[in-house]
A and B are shown apart, each in its own frame.
Chain A
Amino acid sequence: MSAYNFAFLDEQTKRMIRRALLKAVAIPGHQVPFGSREMPLSYGWGTGGVQVTASVIGPDDVFKVIDQGADDTTNAVSIRQFFERTTRVRTTTRTDTATLIQTRHRIPETPLREGQILVLQVPIPEPLRWLEPREIETRKMHALEEYGVMHVRLYEDITRHGHVETAYDYPVLVNGRYLMRPSPIPKFDNPKLDRNPALLLFGAGREKRIYAVPPYTPVRSLDFEDHPFTVERWDRMCALCGAADAFMDEIVVDDKGGRMFVCSDTDYCEDRRGR
C-alpha cells in the first residue's frame, strides 16, 4: 500500500470533503452533497464513514472502529485494517483513549469527551425518503421546514399501534431546525446525541451526503407531548458484567429457545469486568 497517499485519498479529495464537513458543522443537521469517491470497500459497507475518517485522520490520532458496538465484528476489523495499512496510525479498542471513532449502528456506552470525533456510517441520509421518494421535493421540504408529513406518519403509527413504529434510525430535530436521520442506531442511543461534548460526523458514501452535529447541540427525538419518546428496556442484566443500563445483544444458546443477554458494547463490558 506504500504506493497510496496517507489514508488512501489524495489531498484534493480530502480538502473537498473537509469543505463539505465545515459546511455541515456550520448548519447542524443539514445534508451537504459531496463528490463521493469509489473506495476499496463496497458502497453500503461504510464508504461514507471511511471517506470522512480519511479526511480528518492525522498521524497523531488514536483510532477505534466498531460495528454493532463491537471492535471484533468482521466489518470493523476490515475497516481498521484498511486504516492501519494506509496510515499506520495507532489503533485501540478503548473508547476512553480514542481520539477518533468510526462506528456502525451504535454510539458507545462510555460517555464521549470534548475533543473526540465520532464518525457514523449512514445508509440512507434522508429522513423524508419513505414519505417522499423524490429528492427534488425533499430538498424543498427541508429548505422550507415543511416537516408536517413526518408528524403525520407518527400520528398514524400511534393510531394503529399505540406506539411509534420506528425502532432505529429514529428521526430527530437538530438545533430546533433540521430534521435528521441519526443513522441506524437503536433509539436507545438517541439521547446520547443531545448536547454531546464530542463532534458527531455523518457520512453517506453511496448517497453522497455529509452532515454533522457540532458539540453541545440540542438534538430532540420526534414525539408527541402525550406520547413522549421512550427507549428500549430489558428485564435482564448483562450475563457477563451485570450492567442494567446498556444495550443488550440477545444470544440464542441452545435449540430449546434458551437465551442470554450480553452488552453490545464490548469495550464497555470488558471495562466493567476489570478487563
Chain B
Amino acid sequence: MAADVPLLRARGVSKLYGTRVACRDVGLDLWPGEVLGIVGESGSGKTTLLGCLSGRLVPTSGRVEFMLRDGTVVDVLQLPEPALRKLARADWGVVHQNPRDGLRAGVTAGANVGERLMALGARHYGRIRAEALDWLDRVEIDRERIDDWPETFSSGMQQRLQIARTLVTRPRLVFMDEPTGGLDVSVQARLLDLVRGLTSDLGLSAIIVTHDLAVTRLLAHRLLVMRGGEVVESGLTDQVLDDPQHPYTQLLVSSVLQP
C-alpha cells in the first residue's frame, strides 16, 4: 500500500442547481488517521460538499477517489449503486445532525448498536450483546438502557447512541454533519470530548462539517473554510484559527464570542 495515496481525494467537485452554485471546484485530500474539518456559515455549501463526497449527491462535475482496504483506488462517482451501497456499509460511517436519521426506530438500543455487526455476519447473541454493552459504556450511556427504545432517550443520548451504532464496526472513514447541532452547550461539550477521545483511540479518519469553530478547534487536524460554495482558506487548524489569512476567515474567527 503506497504511503503517498490519500484515503479520500476530491478534485474539482462542483454542484449546481440550475444556475445556483452550491459548491464550486473543491479539492481536498484526506489522509488515514486524519480528521478534516469543513467550516462555514449556513449556505456556504459545506453540507452539499459532504453529500457529494459520500456519494449521496451526484456532483455536476469533479472526481472523488477512495482507497479500499487492499490499496486499490476507486472512483466513487462512477461506482454502480450496488457497489456504492456495499462500500458505504462496510467502509464508511455517517453521523447525521439529527440522530433519528441515523438510528432505527422501534428497535432497542442494543439492536441499534448490534445491527452493523449482524449485517457483517456476527451470529453470537451473547457476544453481540456484550459488544453493545461495551459501546454503551464508551459513549457513556447507562447499561440498563440497552433494552430501551431510542425514542425514550434525550437528544444528547440519541446522538451518542448514533455514534456507537456507526463506530461499532470501526469504519475506515466517518462523515459527520453538524454532530453537535441542536444540542445544549453543556451536552455539546461532553459529546465533543467523547468524539475526540474515540477518534484518537480508534485512529479514525473523519470529515466533519460544522459552522462551529470550537468544534473544529477541538476535533480537526486540518481545516477548510468555505464561503459561497468555494474554499477560501485551508491549512492546519491551529494555524488557520490563530493566524487567519483570508478576510472572511478573519471575520469568522473574530466574531466568535470570547468567554
Contact = CB atoms under 8 A, between A and B. Distances in A.
A144 B82 contact: yes
Contacts, number: 54
A227 B125 CA distance: 7
Interface stretch (B49-57, B102-110, B175-183): B102-110
A225 interface: yes
B119 interface: yes
Interface stretch (A35-43, A149-157, A234-242): A149-157
B85, B111, B120: most-surrounded residue (chain A CB, <10 A): B111
Interface size class of B (residues with CB under 8 A): 20 to 34
Interface in B97-148: 104, 107-108, 110-111, 114-116, 118-120, 123-126, 128, 147
Binding site secondary structure of chain A: helix
Interface in B172-190: none
B20 interface: no
Contacts of A149: 104, 115
Given A155-B110, A155-B111, A148 B125 contact: no
Interface string A146-166: 111101100110110000000
B227 to A, nearest CB: 38
Contacts of A155: 110-111, 114, 118, 125, 128
Binding site secondary structure of chain B: helix
A136 interface: no
Interface in A210-247: 223-227
A149 B106 CA distance: 12
Contact of B118 (A140, A143, A148): A148
B82 A143 contact: yes
B108 A156 contact: yes
B196 interface: no
B56 to A, nearest CB: 16
A96 to B, nearest CB: 38
A118 B118 CA distance: 33
13 contacts: A143-B82, A144-B85, A144-B86, A146-B119, A148-B118, A148-B119, A149-B104, A151-B115, A151-B118, A152-B111, A152-B115, A155-B128, A159-B147
Interface of B: 82, 85-86, 89, 104, 107-108, 110-111, 114-116, 118-120, 123-126, 128, 147
